[in-house]
Structure 1
Amino acid sequence: MFKKSILLAVTALSFGGFVSITQAPVSNAASMPGSLSYHKANFNAKIGTNYQPFKLTSHVPNSNYKQIKTTSWKKSGLKAGTKIHVDLYASQGLQFNWYRITKFSAKKVTKHAKVQKYWIYGQALNLPKSVTNQLALSY
């Protein structure tokens, strides 16, 4: 996008016009700069009380996937206080990460059983203190 803007500016100047190049302001965490990196995890957490403003998605919002699907909280069966399992998280150098969650089950799930997984922004979760401290040290 930056190369295109410069090309437009050079073209406009060669025809005697003036162009102002501006960058759109950053409005949310999903559009923040930085490379996205994935990390394995294995811990349980709970859905926080302030979960509803955040979306459940099929992929991390700032990933390279073209079609990212969102699921409603009602359809997922998740609500405040629901125990969930985290098996993967993605960081982008921000204060909060995205976490891939599944609904917690005390039963051992077979390899072939289909379990619905969602990505959620870290502010929607109540993470255990041991995990929070460990993630803070990794930055």
Structure 2
Amino acid sequence: MFKKSILLAVTALSFGGFVSVAQSPASSAASRTGSLSYHKANFTAKIGANYKSFKLTNHVPNSNYKNKETTSWAKSGFKKGTKVHVDMFASQGLQYNWYRISKYSTKKATKHTKVQKYWIYGEALVLPKSITNQLVFSY
């Protein structure tokens, strides 16, 4: 499962620059079950052109969390082309990846700065050419 995710990323990266990774629609991905793995990440991405087709949530849609909430795109302040910071992603295999995003800032955050983070389906993002991650935990 993890090797397939890396293979997809390497294939996408071979085109260079920012690329959009083709994935299934979020509605069908959220309804599927399987092992959900979380991975640390540290990169910037951009909000893609089709971002309004997907929801911003406080947890991965197919996770075990009971209090999942959605946030409107207007309230979040994100729009097409906005740079975002990705600090984590969740995968259930090759096609079902969600990314935890927050507003991109060139300023260094202090320990007391609270940053709002959202989970978004990968198809709504334009991913960079280099992505580094490591397995955090799975259930």
Q: TM-score, normalised by structure 2?
A: 0.73
1:52 maps to a residue whose letter is K
Q: Name the residue aligned to 2:10.
A: none
Q: Between 53-62 and 30-39, report the one with greater CA deviation.
A: 30-39
Look up the match of 2:79.
79
Q: Which runs of 5+ in 2 are unaligned?
A: 1-26, 134-139
Q: Hey, what does 2:115 align to over in structure 1? A: 115
Amino acid at match of 1:95: Q
The residue that corresponds to 1:4 in the other structure is: none
* 1:50 counterpart residue number: 50
Residue equivalent to 2:129 = 129
Amino acid at match of 1:82: T
Q: 1:67: how far off?
A: 1.0
- Large movers: runs of 4+ above 4 Å: none
SS of structure 1 residue aligned to 2:40: strand
Q: How does 1:1-139 map to 2 (within 5 A)?
A: 28-131=28-131
CA-CA distance at 1:130 after TM superposition: 2.3
Give the SS at the match of 2:130. helix
Q: Is the 8 A contact 1:41 1:86 kept in 2?
A: yes
Residue pair 2:43, 2:86 contacting (<8 A) in 1 also: yes
Question: What letter matches 1:106 in structure 2?
Answer: T
- TM-score, normalised relative to structure 1: 0.73
If you compute each CA radius of gyration, which structure gives the higher value, 1 or 2?
1
Residue type matched to 2:30 in 1? A
Separation of aligned partners in 2, 1:94 and 1:67: 26
RMSD: 1.4
* CA–CA separation in structure 2 for the residues paired with 1:59 and 1:111: 23
Cα deviation 1:35-93 (Å, max 9, x = unaligned):
10100000000000110010000000000111101000000000000000000000001
Whole-Å Cα distance in 2 between the matches of residues 92 and 29 of structure 1?
9
Higher relative CO (Cα under 8 Å, sequence separation at least 6) belongs to: 2
Q: Percent identity?
A: 74
Compared with structure 1, are the counterparts of its residues 58 and 66 closer, same or farther at alpha carbon in structure 2 (3 Å cutoff)?
Answer: same
